[in-house]
Every structure is written in structure tokens, then in C-alpha cells.
Amino acid sequence: MLRGLIIGFIGFMLISCTSIVNTGKLTDLPDTTTVVVLPFENHTETPMAGLRVASLLESILRTKGYVIEERFWKLKDVDYTPEEIKGLLKEARQKGVDYVFTGSVNEFRYKTGIDGEPAVSITVDLYNTADGKVIWSSAGSATGWSHESTGTVTQKLLNKLVRK
């Protein structure tokens, strides 16, 4: 009985803070390229999750040595629609931007239950604006401990997704 409880507890501890990441190594971009981060599509019930993730990604990419251009899109009170994001991708091309990071937020919430752990699921895509094609993609999901925020879990996950 005690052995079963111990094994169950160890299993719970291992599963409670898991991350699933599917990614390839993000290649270095030439120093002369211009890069922007566009809003992410929000497929969650959490308002503005796509804008939150885009903002975090901008900072994380800068800490990894990428030169990220200033935003040419505005923060608003609601998430951008997929059509608006496509329009921003076109606008980026017209402004001479070489590469664009964007993606989708599929989960950004606190799970229900006693502890209410944060849960996040994100995809990140890197577009070449010359042809509008995705040249790199990454996806991951993570949960955290009840004392962590969705922002903290998102930062940890993005750091794994965009590793150099």
C-alpha cells in the first residue's frame, strides 16, 4: 500500500510540471535582416492571449541576440483576427521587413481543481516575407505549479521553442 502511494506521488510530481516541445533548432539570421514579431492568433477563451505571447516573444528573441524591429502594429483591446494578421504580414513585406515571427495560442489558462495550475500551448512560425512561406516552425505545451503564472510558464516554454 505504502509502495503504491509513493509510486503514485512520484508519478504525479513528474507529470505535474511537464512540457512537450516539438521544434528544430532556430537558425541564425544574417545581421542585416529585419525581423518583427506580429500578434499571435488567439484560439483560447483568454482575452488578448495572442498579444501577450507576441510581447513576451519579442523580449525573449532580443535576449537571444536577434535584432527585432519596433512594432508597426498597435496594441488594442481585442486580439487581432487571422485576416488582420495576414494583412500585417503583407504590410511587413511592403515595409521591407525580411522575416516575421507569429503563431497561435491554443491554450492559456489555469486548470480547474484544487491547485489551478497554469497551462499553455503555443505554436511559433517564422515567415520569409519575400514569398510568404514558413521557413521554421515550433510547437509546445506546458503546465506549471500552482504558484506560477501563465506568463511564467509561457516564458519558459518560449525559451525552449526558440532556442538557438
Domain ranges of the chain: 20-161
Sequence-distant (6+) residues with CB within 8 A of 160 are 19, 21, 23, 140
* Chain-centroid distance, C-alpha 19: 13
Taking alpha carbons only, the member of 39, 70, 42 closest to residue 56 is: 39
Cell digits of residue 144: 506549471
Confidence of residue 164 (pLDDT cuts 50, 70, 90): low
Q: Residue 79 pLDDT more than 60?
A: yes
CATH of 20-161, one of 3.40.50.10610, 3.30.465.10, 3.30.43.10, 3.40.50.720: 3.40.50.10610
pTM given for the model: 0.83
d(CA 130, CA 140): 27
Q: Residue 111 pLDDT more than 70?
A: yes
* Average per-residue pLDDT for the chain: 85
Residue keyed to cell 510530481: 13
Confidence of residue 18 (pLDDT cuts 50, 70, 90): low
Backbone CA torsion sign across 76, 132, 93, 21: positive
Q: Residue 4 pLDDT more than 70?
A: no
Give the mean model confidence (pLDDT) for residues 51-61.
95
Task: Quickly list DSSP for the chain.
Answer: -HHHHHHHHHHHHHHHT-EEEEEPPPPPPPTT--EEEPPPEE-SSSTTHHHHHHHHHHHHHHHTT--BPPP-S---SSPPPHHHHHHHHHHHHHTT--EEEEEEEEEEEE-SSSS--EEEEEEEEEEETTTTEEEEEEEEEEE--TTS-HHHHHHHHHHHHT--
